[in-house]
Structure 1
């Protein structure tokens, strides 16, 4: 990388701070390996044990067991595991180093890839991306080598998190170091208008701030970006230091046609009140292309809460001879301020900046907020005296502010106490009304333990709910009817005599909870919900799969576990010899295949064993190209096992997270066609299940496995995996539910039907088209998701829908919205969904 022309070595020696922080000179280790960073400033989300705690995550150190190791490995775009470093002050970080756990040859754990998040205040966390938009950083290939990676762009932060990304094949441990220098500017954000586009002889020049880490909607707010990345633009703004980027990349630019006032206003926020001496603005001056430095700058200062009425003004000498880019130095006359607002006036058609820096010293009365300085006063470390006459005024203001704050706190506490009293009264009224309502319902429908009758009609049940929600959506947990979950509403004995009800709307039977037999899965989740009529047909003792020798299974990894059993990833030998004639593996002879083995614990109770046998019978009947097949069983002795397919590329959630496109706009059509191909296969598998009157109840990308050539097969053991524990909402003493994928009637009424599977398919389609970058409704808490289902029930147009993904055509988003229709009968069937997706794929 070239250094800016204006950077001179003698400047670094003479100035109190750097004129400009260059990534070429700001590369010193910040103290993980040297010990300057204390143990208490290193924390982590979890650890294997005390000997692999965060404080052992120091580069090139072997204390403890040799590294930091998280208890549960991270997962792409949904990572919860991290190693966090608090640098105590803002730093300009240009380089990171990582290392695995070697421990003298005992350890062999390392992170092959990782991501970085950073924060300047400890509350707002920002995901680092390189200049091409990629988040994932290539890490280590063994446990002992140190791998250094330049951060391009560099980051300005106090807190930094290393977040390992791994697949299902290995654990990770990390030792890390940060490299850079202290951020003496103290700048924490700048707010500016969005950069614009220039057309130059038919070529588009993009003058946007592409690495800005704040909000970018109508303007740039609360972030830092290219104006503070330590890189000065070249004389020719079309060229760049960085390869494989667009013309104009180094500069943020604006045209005077967009600013009737004749100036661009930028506001700079700092970490504390400072004494400012100069501001340096690196400008382009290619006057032959109508680009010049600013004609005049007017700067306002905010020392406490108010802006000073009198600004300073500065006009640089215009240069129409030398087209070189240059720093323009503006004297700020030792103004005390925590924020500066500058208005840069145009002198020609275009104005372009690539770097803005400030020279300042921390104000004396704010030194308690800054890291302590040592040594005698020097030119680089001056002591500022404060007039004693101002001290009394300052103390008086502080006392007044304290009294005001105390008064505000008292008012807030009083309002909270009063609100809680009102809530208690409201809930008591609600409970009384609910009790009366349920009593009326039990008399009307004779729905009791002695004489169970059919469930109320939709119209009748709605009248009850209209009385349950009169107080609005501000409730903190589900009401009693919301807690009436399908897993606990009726036993299989209660429902054995029920017959399915059909819906003429789509030709596929819809099963209310009273019509479904629930089987407790091996890992604590429920398997496919099966109609009672179908269970009668499966009541025989025959199992249509072969017994498989346990000795031919080789354990690879535990995929998940639950109350009654575990799921293991295994390699199976000679599996093709035990398969049905209509099924074959795409492997050569004598080659092992990956399989998932569901294992029932030997101490499981009788009911769990019976459910396990029923699950085998159900799975043995499922034969579809897009449904995971039951291959064989081990029933001759405990523990009982069922062996199912497992696809070599893992589940769809991990697969898409690892294959998020980076700078592939030109191939968007190709990418979308692959995604639509995957979605079509999921719809095909669900069409098959619905034809058998089976309800999946946990359709999501985590339950879809990926094989060769983007082959998709639907499975059912995502709930058992610790990786996805955050996708499930636990109601105390009751079920664990994937509420972000569930229809409103499933959450509120406990109804799981083919139509509720259609709802979940819409969410799964949304996940697929967003490359699983975030959870559905990631901006909502679990409680807010449940509240949103109440809005769907009330249907007052206040419900929140998932937004349209960037790669999603309007027709497909319309299909998603139809899957989330309030009226279950108006949702499309899986036959219709499959047809629509297939036609789009062919088109």
Structure 2
């Protein structure tokens, strides 16, 4: 959860959050392999610190986070009552609406809702309706068909969703690109989970099957999210404006608004309440392949005579408001600043009160970082608020607005509210007084629960020590002390880092996966799933050390309590480069000109800069793109100035390693700035950016028109031929061949980590992970780290083994990206959890595993002989990079 985006929770969730922390810590205790007294004391202290943090944060107020708000709301568990589930029609009593509950294969698959008539093509009249009894924030939906133990085969291939906040006005959901139809099931057995982008805020939901031909359909559904207790039911704002920035059209309209749209948007909700806030640079977006300015709603000062934008916010009932949080852009170099003043008026009846609350945030003329601005509302009571935001510059851009009130705090408890009873108080009741009366009892219960949890943890630690000694006596293989200590540190700190070095088989980590999908037996964390398989005992082996290249493959989200535990770095075997001169020249800092922030990682930040006189500085030994007159475009990695000693040493080790990497298809380290803080390393940056974005903007030319394609490419049109794509893959294979010859493991090979220069020159880089643009490519583990699971081999996900063979697997996925022009994310039809489940099928090797499909332009021999060979279960049977480079080179001949 981002800093500065905190909003309140009820005291009742302290117990739930504490239990969640205790469960995670118990897993850490079981996974740590060094059970000495020091470890026990450290673990208990760590739990105590976390519990204190939870107690301090319990009264904080947190912005809604779609990544957290993903809990089943009760169709499966029964919290949603039968009377709250209805339908337009049904086959019979046995297929009534109340049977339309998702069933994760816990029954015979016989129950489902089925409309009484065959659906006509594109018919949308039949629906299954769910009443959640109060407003909810819905981020995910699941659907399933009816199979009745093989006797039935009815399912919905596609469907639409309609929703309503009041039960009268219904809105059809559509994604961020305007598509309304959702791809559903392909068989009657599997559960298909679909993320809703944007999420929905509503009380009533209708699932409407869509079919291409007349057929019988049946549906079982589940809704995932959490209760929307902000109370905001609509906002009214002027329609956003268009900016022309350096010839680029930048649109600041609220594209997902679900109310009436004219010159002013009314009676709806949209991007200001979708839980996603904009980046520092408004030209880029969190959302994949959206237009510039998408994250923000913005207005030009010239269009408002009075110098302010007026917004009206309507709520479900009268509330006592304490503050409002507004996410603003502040890129003043482009004429954008946060608002100069906010004046808010309040209404409880039919008239607006005369005396507003006025707030003037301090002007920031130094930092261009987007931020939340908190506007105090002085505990004013109202059912509607009218705020006037005064311009601080030519443009004002907002991406999120959230309100905090005494009776409406956002609930992120692990246990969803039990449905069937409205949350509103009775007429005449004082809801604030009711909450205050129960706070004492709640707090006492919380403290008792915390003490009980801490005592339980201590008992578990002691029990674990005894049990581990018994296992050590029975085990035929005992892990050596070095590996044990390393695994314990990695588990507590984080899995791996930019400068850390993996083993040849990879560092084995027992980190479990935080569940953001259904909490049921079918969705187990991989570490448990793999241990249930009989082959597991033969699947681990002791492995030799080998360095890795990729930047911040996993970013730790855990804040360190002391200097010694901030970074976990495995010692590097520098003998690998013995005899090589590792000195790097110190580049004058004043010759670096900041252009753009590319992103940030564990080490610090990545900036795009211009280096003046770099060619002359490097001399004739370096052959780099550009001319001697113009500044050279470079990427500058910086280490945070407050980094501890270990982090600084690791940063310098990385410089030493990268200075020895010299290959035409590997991004090179050009110079350093280490005389003063912050420490910097300067690397090449290619003028066309990363390969993923480069390919997204291209179209494939058919092979029959190859000559025409060549001509259009020379004329600068956005087309590329198959031969050019294979040429790119050859270069990636060449760079990986070089890394593998040095026994390097990349760990994060993907198109986002490849840069493109002139004439389709490709160089492998390592800082794609640091860019917010690609955060959707990484899967969060226990709230503390992330993994690029869609590019990882099964043994990397389940066993934590990273080898050259796992890089070969990632190369197969990267080749698939290249040949599909990065139009889709790998396994786009699967959720993250389903991708992990699919790795279990690779392990079991029973023919149920799902492979990436053959790209349209890919010859059969390239797909079968190369791609599929990269994804073989047995790592030893995968081809080497030398073999793949030769194979691809031959295909160009």
- Report the TM range for the smaller structure's normalisation: 0.3 to 0.5
| Higher RCO (CA-CA < 8 Å; seq separation 6+) | 2
Larger Rg: 1
TM-score by length of 1: 0.43
TM-score, normalised to structure 2, is: 0.41
